[in-house]
């Protein structure tokens, strides 16, 4: 058979076109598959707008999710955790942290619900401390004393946020530069706080900071928990365990007196799990001063510096929370100043003791108490500390 040249030409052209078409459709299929794989994987971090500051600055909300189904909402205002869901023993999810429904309510007056606290978590007596012979004066925003970083602590600033995903889980990195002299503290402080939600329901918090002048730092997280999921109900039915044989008694302004007191035989003994409500009304001078529990416990040392500090158990729902840290202390605050005036999320109000805080930290007033572990940070050093809240059921 005689094959003409044009026939060969058109034949080759046709084959080439068919081949190209195949390749093209293969490519399309491939990208469909890729899209499918991406789409079937849960997106661990969702970004939305939470509200606007009075000056128009947008406050963003990031929702961290894990495979188990837990969700943690964090906003860029104060690094506040506004929602944190956890399953009960039947797998029913509830929000377990106090907070508000919208930004305006946070701006109107927030008793540090869910907030990052800095530069100094807890109190500094009379708002004064000295470093290298120079005295620094801070705001006295809690009676005669300085509390939680002052008038505009880290709980009230806008932080930069960078969401990312790594093998550990959903990660949100928050950064903030506190200028030299801000709230009276020396040194420009660059702060980085990393929240990681892991698949085994732990929120791991890593705090880092560097300074350009000697300063003091004590960062913490001020979430109020109510593991019942009924956020406006008292938490007296939660069992607390604190890994601490001693605590720091306070004066009338809740400043440690300097004494390390044994907890044994007192209402401050949580070495075995005990209901918050069991002895909170006991006739005890220290409970009177705190109007309940509002003290720093001196954590026992462990084999590792990162050790179990505390746990909380709500028997009815089975929700159990463990707190691990490498900090020397933990402030256990039983929500004594909540008085039923603040609106609860989804309705009702936050009554007295409707939430408890387990704030890992260095001891209150450390800058003025030479027997306490130092909170000084020098240029060239890096402040790093870690706390993990792990939720489960039993
Ligand atoms: C802390 C303090 C409490 C109280 C709360 C916020 O943790 O120790 O006394 O000020 O913050 O209301």
In this prediction, residue 137 has a pLDDT band, given cuts at 50, 70 and 90, of very high
Residues 179, 183, 187, 192: is their CA dihedral positive or negative? Answer: negative
Angle at 222 between CA 218 and CA 228, to 5 degrees: 150
Kindly state the tokens that stand for 225.
């928990």
Q: How many domains does the chain have?
A: 1
Q: Which residues line ligand 1 (CB under 6 A)?
A: 111-112, 147, 254, 294, 331, 333, 337, 357, 359
pLDDT in tens, 346-386: 899 999 999 999 999 999 999 999 999 999 999 999 999 99
Query: Does 31 reside within a domain?
Result: no
Q: Which residue has the higher pLDDT, 31 or 108?
A: 108
Model confidence over 81-130: pLDDT tens digits? 999 999 999 999 999 999 999 999 999 999 999 999 999 999 999 999 99
Decide if 35 is inside a domain.
Answer: no
Q: Which domain holds residue 142?
A: 46-393
Q: How far is CA 53 from the centre of its chain?
A: 22
Q: Is residue 387 part of a domain?
A: yes
Residue 103 falls inside a structural domain: yes
- Return the sign of the alpha-carbon dihedral for residues 338, 341, 342, 347: positive
How many CB atoms sit inside 10 A of residue 58's CB?
A: 12
Beta bridge partners of 129: 136
Mean pLDDT for the chain?
91
**Residue 58 is among the residues annotated as catalytic for this protein:** no
Task: Read off the pLDDT of each residue in 260-289 and give the average, rounded to a whole number.
Answer: 98
Query: What average pLDDT does this structure show over 188-214?
Result: 97
Mutation test residue for ligand 1: of 116, 117, 154, 294, the one with most atoms within 8 Å of CB = 294
Q: How far is the CA of 260 from the centre of ligand 1 (A)?
A: 20
pTM, entire model: 0.89
Name the least confident of 9-13, 117-121, 328-332.
Answer: 9-13
**Which atom of ligand 1 is least distant from the CA of 123?**
8
CA of 333 to the centre of ligand 1 (A): 7
Q: Please report, for the domain that includes residue 60, its CATH number.
A: 2.70.98.10
Residue 173 lies in a domain: yes
Residue at 11 is within a domain: no
Most confident of 32-41, 157-166, 359-368: 359-368
What integer is the mean pLDDT of 243-255?
98
Residue 32 falls inside a structural domain: no
Question: Is 259 within a domain?
Answer: yes
């Amino acid at each position: 058979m005689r094959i003409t040249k044009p026939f060969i030409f058109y034949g080759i052209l046709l084959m080439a076109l068919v081949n190209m078409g195949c390749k093209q459709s293969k490519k399309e299929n491939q990208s469909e598959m890729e899209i499918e794989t991406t789409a079937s994987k849960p997106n661990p971090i969702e970004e939305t707008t939470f509200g606007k500051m009075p000056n128009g600055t947008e406050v963003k909300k990031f929702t961290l999710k894990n495979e188990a189904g837990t969700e943690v909402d964090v906003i860029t205002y104060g690094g506040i955790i506004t929602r944190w869901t956890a399953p009960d023993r039947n797998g029913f999810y509830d929000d377990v942290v106090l907070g508000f429904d919208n930004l305006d309510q946070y701006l109107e007056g927030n008793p540090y619900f869910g907030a990052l606290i800095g530069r100094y978590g807890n109190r500094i007596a009379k708002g004064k401390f000295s470093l290298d012979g120079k005295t620094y004066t801070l705001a006295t925003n809690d009676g005669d004393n300085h509390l939680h970083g002052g008038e505009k602590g880290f709980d009230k600033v806008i932080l930069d946020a960078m969401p990312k995903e790594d093998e550990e889980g959903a990660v949100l990195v928050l950064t903030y530069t506190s200028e030299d002299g801000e709230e009276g503290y020396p040194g420009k402080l660059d702060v980085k706080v990393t929240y990681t939600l892991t698949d085994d329901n732990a929120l791991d918090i890593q705090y880092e900071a560097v300074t350009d002048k000697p300063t003091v730092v004590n960062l913490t997280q001020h979430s109020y928990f109510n593991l019942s999921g009924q956020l406006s109900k008292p938490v007296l039915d939660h069992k607390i365990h604190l890994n601490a044989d001693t605590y720091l008694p306070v004066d009338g302004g809740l400043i440690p007196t300097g004494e390390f007191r044994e907890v044994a035989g007192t209402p401050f003994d949580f070495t075995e799990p005990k209901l918050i409500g069991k002895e909170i009304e006991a006739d005890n001078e220290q409970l009177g001063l705190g109007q309940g529990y509002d003290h720093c416990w001196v954590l026992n040392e462990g084999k590792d510096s990162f050790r179990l500090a505390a746990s909380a158990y709500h028997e009815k729902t089975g929700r159990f929370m463990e707190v691990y840290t490498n900090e020397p202390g933990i402030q256990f605050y039983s929500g004594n100043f909540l008085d039923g005036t603040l609106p609860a999320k989804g309705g009702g109000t936050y009554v007295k003791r409707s939430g408890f805080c387990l704030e890992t930290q260095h001891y209150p007033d450390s800058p003025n108490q030479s027997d306490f572990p130092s909170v000084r940070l020098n240029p060239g050093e890096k402040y790093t500390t870690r706390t993990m809240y792990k939720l489960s059921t039993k």
